[in-house]
Amino acid sequence: MKPLVLASTSRFRRALLDRLGLPYEAKRPDFEEIAPEGMAPADVARAFAEGKARSVEALPGQWVIGADQVPEIEGRALRKAESLDDCRAQLAQLAGCTHALHTAVVLWSPATGVMLGEMVTVELTMRALDAAAIARYVELDRPVGSAGGYFFEGRGICLFDDVRGGDESAIVGLPLVALCRLLRKAGLEPLGLME
C-alpha cells in the first residue's frame, strides 16, 4: 500500500510531487469549489484544500494530500480562468500590479481525523502588459484552468518583474517545502519514504 494519496489529477501537482520520489497514488477529488460569500481569499484556499482531501477515499494508514490556490488582488479573489477570454481578462487586471497568491496544502488522515495544514503566500509583481502581449501569451500557453490566468511553470514566468516569498512550487500549486514539514509532523520522514 502506498502511504500517500494526492487528491488531484493535475499534471502540474503530480510533476511536483514526483520530484520528491515519494510513493503515492493520485485520485480525482469529488469536490465542488464554491466559496462562501465574503470568505477571505486565503481562507478559501484552505477550505478548498481540506475539501479536496476529505473527498477522496483512502485506506487506513494512508494520508491524503490536498492543495488549492487563490490569487488575490486589492482584497478580491480571482477564480480559476475557465476560458481564454477569462485568461485575457485576468491578465489585464494583474498587469502592472502586485498580487498575492495563497496556496494551501493539507495532510489528512481519514483513519484518525487529523488534519495538518500550512498556507504559503507569494507576492508576484506582473510587468505592464498591453493587449497584444496578453493575447500573444494566452495564445502560446493557453492557461485555461489556472489561478490568475497564467502558467508560471510555462511561459508565464516571462510576465513577471518580481516574486517574493515561498518557493516556486507554491506558485505552481503544491508547496513542497511546506508539504515536507507536514509529513514530518505526521511522523513520515520524507527521506525515509523516498523510492
Catalytic residues: 68
- Under 8 Å between Cβ of 49 and 106: yes
Strands (E), the chain: 4-6, 24-26, 63-73, 76-77, 98-108, 115-126, 160-164
Q: Positive or negative, the Cα torsion across 76, 93, 121, 112?
A: positive
C-alpha 148/C-alpha 72 separation (Å) is 9
Furthest C-alpha separation in the chain: 53
The residue among 104, 106, 85, 98 whose CA lies nearest residue 43 is: 104
